[in-house]
């Protein structure tokens, strides 16, 4: 089009020259200079286009690449040049694209409508022009635990600021061309919230996600593992091999740029079963099998199944969540599906047998539903991102691990035997009542006058002090905590009712089950309304596996010593704590 316009202008000039009014020496010289200029521009454009076409040639080894496998690109650039190969998503992401309400608000406030590719790698023979190898503070860099050993140094490839980059390099980084885009990319590769929300690739050694890469032979660092870059500056020929993030969704289009020019695109092919909302490849049998083991552990421990499931999602399955949603906000509602299903059988049985004390259960469930719907999920989605979620989950696991170890001591076992004898006696009374037809009569709840603070309640031949207000407030607080972590809350409910309220086990267990169900209903509903969907397929597999494990668990429990089981599980929980708090450097 430019050449056509210039040609038209030349003809116009020529026609003017033919006009006698302009045909004098001065006008002739001026007109000829203009024609020469137009011809020069045309020739320069042609030469520039030709040299650009010859300067860069690149071709991918394959246009379809299986997720988690290497890509290879070969070609040539202008002789003597350094090389900057960008591998990134062909589709850009901007904060408004986030499905999660809290993430969308936070990202929009920080970056406006700036668009970047979620995955972005620069492979170069000059990595020091873009990043500096240094030690950076990681772990708990702020908050009440911002001190060693929770705060530690990690070797990272720290990105330089945009104004620190040489102006000759900036055009080589396309499709990223502005300071705002570079700042956004730095956030998504160096900040844990950005990594777990957008780029999704696990940080190397607890540090930064991969972005600026070099040939492993020339820069032998953890982030360059598997990267090969060969460049012959004399001829300009190059070849590069690297493996992009292993959990890229099927049919995602990726682009390759060489020194600022788009060279090619490739499509990602699925590598096994892909959990779409979980944003991860995983064999469904592995998900079911792990949940089956958790179901067995849940029966042995009597609580903390949700904590083990959360740890399993994070560490083994590797649930990431959709791009634009922090991984923690997908793990929590998916986890709650387990605690929604697992109490149902037991709860229906207790209600059928008239073992459900409604005057104290109703205020407890109301409190839990209120906390789990109105308060817990919004606070969690905003403040408890995956990094914080893992850390405080580790602290909770430590507390429960210590509690389990204490329960394995001889004195605690004897106490538990005495409690079990009371429960067995109660179960025997229920059996006799059912056989004699007195279950309806014995299971009826009797009290003279309801009082919101406390009143005496007769239930199954025993008199208890009902404390509705205490149960309501306790339920509210525990509903907030449980829904924030995506767990049922049984590890809190039972100690609260048996220790603080003073209810026996046979009265507390049915109420605790109703509480876990209430947490799940309120929490899941609120997370979904906030844009945080569970991975329904993963959730169903986890629930099915855990419930099957719950059937096998009692049989295993009878064949293994209780002390061994308790201490084994205590050790597992403490190990989770050490990993998630970053205390073991080789597990970060």
Q: Is 552 exposed, middle or buried (0-12, 13-18, 19+ CB in 10 A)?
A: middle
* Pairwise CA distance, residues 130 & 242, whole Å: 18
Query: How is the chain split among helix, strand and coil, in percent rounded to 5?
Result: 55, 15, 30
* Pairwise CA distance, residues 159 & 156, whole Å: 9
| Structure confidence at residue 485 (pLDDT) | 95
| Two structure tokens written together for 225 | 């593992």
* Pairwise CA distance, residues 150 & 79, whole Å: 50
| Structure confidence at residue 457 (pLDDT) | 79
Q: Which of 112, 203, 84, 93 is nearest to 154 (CA)?
A: 203
* Pairwise CA distance, residues 497 & 507, whole Å: 9
Q: Is 452 exposed, middle or buried (0-12, 13-18, 19+ CB in 10 A)?
A: exposed
| Structure confidence at residue 250 (pLDDT) | 98
* Pairwise CA distance, residues 537 & 123, whole Å: 37
* Pairwise CA distance, residues 299 & 548, whole Å: 11
**Whole-number Cα distances in Å, 109 to 105, 113, 122, 309:** 6, 9, 27, 34
CB 384 within 8 A of CB 487: no
| Two structure tokens written together for 363 | 């205020």
**Whole-number Cα distances in Å, 9 to 4, 18, 42, 71:** 9, 14, 12, 49
| Structure confidence at residue 505 (pLDDT) | 78
Q: Is 267 exposed, middle or buried (0-12, 13-18, 19+ CB in 10 A)?
A: middle
Question: In which element (H, E) is residue 18 found?
Answer: helix 2-18
* Pairwise CA distance, residues 353 & 116, whole Å: 59
* Pairwise CA distance, residues 424 & 506, whole Å: 9
What number of CA atoms fall less than 13 Å from residue 220's CA on the CB side? 1
CB 466 within 8 A of CB 457: yes
| Structure confidence at residue 450 (pLDDT) | 73
Task: Mention every residue, 6+ apart, whose C-beta is less than 8 A from residue 207.
Answer: 136, 138, 154, 155, 156
CB 205 within 8 A of CB 195: no
* Pairwise CA distance, residues 503 & 364, whole Å: 13
* Pairwise CA distance, residues 151 & 354, whole Å: 53
Please report, for the chain, the start and end positions of each structural domain, with discontinuous segments joined by +.
2-55, 57-271, 280-413+439-587
| Structure confidence at residue 132 (pLDDT) | 97
Say whether 503 sits in a helix, a strand or coil.
coil
Q: Going from the first residue of the chain to its last (588 residues), give the mean pLDDT of each consecutive group of 10, the final group possibly shorter.
A: 46 48 50 55 46 70 97 96 98 97 97 98 98 94 90 95 97 97 98 97 89 97 97 96 98 98 97 97 96 82 79 95 97 92 80 80 95 97 95 93 86 66 61 60 60 78 83 96 93 88 82 92 96 96 90 77 81 92 81
CB atoms within 10 A of CB 558: 8
* Pairwise CA distance, residues 478 & 388, whole Å: 19
CB 539 within 8 A of CB 338: yes
* Pairwise CA distance, residues 425 & 305, whole Å: 28
Any idea which residue has 């855990």 for tokens?
Answer: 546
Say whether 56 sits in a helix, a strand or coil.
coil
* Pairwise CA distance, residues 377 & 367, whole Å: 15
């Amino acid at each position: 089009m430019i050449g056509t316009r210039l040609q038209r202008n030349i003809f116009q000039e020529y026609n003017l020259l033919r006009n006698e009014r302009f045909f004098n020496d001065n006008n002739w010289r001026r007109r000829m200079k203009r024609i020469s200029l137009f011809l020069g521009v045309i020739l320069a454009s042609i030469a520039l286009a030709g040299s650009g076409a010859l300067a860069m040639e690149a071709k991918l080894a394959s246009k379809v690449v299986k997720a988690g496998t290497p890509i290879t690109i070969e070609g040539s650039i202008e002789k003597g040049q350094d090389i900057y190969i960008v591998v990134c998503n062909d589709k850009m992401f901007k904060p408004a694209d986030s499905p999660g309400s809290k993430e969308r608000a936070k990202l929009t406030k920080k970056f406006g409508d700036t668009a970047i590719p979620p995955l972005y790698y620069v492979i170069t023979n000059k990595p020091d022009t873009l990043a500096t190898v240094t030690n950076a503070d990681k772990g708990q860099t702020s908050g009440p635990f911002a001190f060693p050993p929770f705060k530690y140094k990690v070797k990272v490839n720290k990105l330089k600021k945009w104004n620190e980059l040489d102006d000759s390099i900036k055009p080589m980084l396309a499709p990223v061309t502005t300071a705002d885009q570079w700042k956004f990319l730095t956030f998504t590769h160096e900040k844990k919230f950005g990594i777990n929300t957008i780029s999704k690739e696990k940080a190397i050694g607890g540090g930064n996600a991969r972005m600026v890469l070099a040939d492993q032979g020339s820069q032998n660092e953890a982030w360059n593992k598997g990267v090969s870059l060969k460049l012959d500056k004399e001829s300009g020929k190059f070849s590069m091999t690297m493996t992009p993030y292993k959990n890229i969704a099927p049919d995602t289009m990726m682009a390759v740029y060489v020194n600022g020019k788009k060279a090619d695109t490739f499509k990602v092919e699925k590598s096994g079963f892909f959990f779409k909302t979980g944003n991860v490849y995983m064999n469904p049998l592995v998900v079911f099998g792990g949940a089956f083991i958790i179901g067995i552990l849940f029966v042995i421990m009597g609580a903390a199944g949700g904590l083990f499931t959360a740890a399993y999602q994070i560490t083994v399955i590797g649930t990431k969540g959709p791009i634009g949603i922090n991984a923690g906000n997908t793990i929590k509602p998916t986890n709650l599906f387990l605690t929604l299903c697992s109490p149902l059988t037991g709860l229906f049985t207790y209600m059928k047998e008239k073992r459900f004390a409604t005057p104290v259960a109703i205020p407890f469930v109301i409190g839990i539903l209120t906390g789990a719907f109105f308060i817990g999920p919004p606070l969690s989605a905003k403040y408890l991102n995956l990094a914080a979620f893992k850390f405080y989950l580790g602290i909770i696991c430590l507390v429960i691990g210590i509690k389990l170890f204490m329960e394995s001591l001889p004195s605690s076992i004897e106490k538990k035997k005495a409690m079990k004898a009371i429960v067995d006696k109660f179960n025997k009374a229920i059996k006799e009542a059912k056989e004699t037809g007195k279950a309806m009569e014995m299971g009826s709840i009797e009290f003279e006058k309801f009082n919101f603070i406390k009143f005496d309640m007769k239930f199954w031949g025993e008199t208890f002090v009902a404390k509705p207000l205490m149960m309501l407030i306790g339920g509210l607080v525990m509903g907030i905590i449980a829904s924030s972590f995506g767990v049922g809350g049984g590890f809190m409910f039972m100690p609260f009712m048996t220790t603080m309220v003073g209810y026996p086990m046979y009265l507390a267990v049915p109420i605790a089950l109703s509480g876990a169900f209430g947490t799940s209903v309120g929490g899941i509903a609120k997370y979904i309304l906030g844009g945080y969907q569970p991975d329904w397929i993963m959730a169903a597999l986890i629930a099915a596996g855990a419930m099957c494990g719950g059937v096998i668990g009692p049989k295993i429990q009878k064949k293994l010593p209780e002390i061994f089981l308790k201490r084994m599980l205590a050790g597992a929980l403490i190990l989770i704590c050490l990993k998630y708090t970053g205390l073991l450097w080789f597990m970060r």
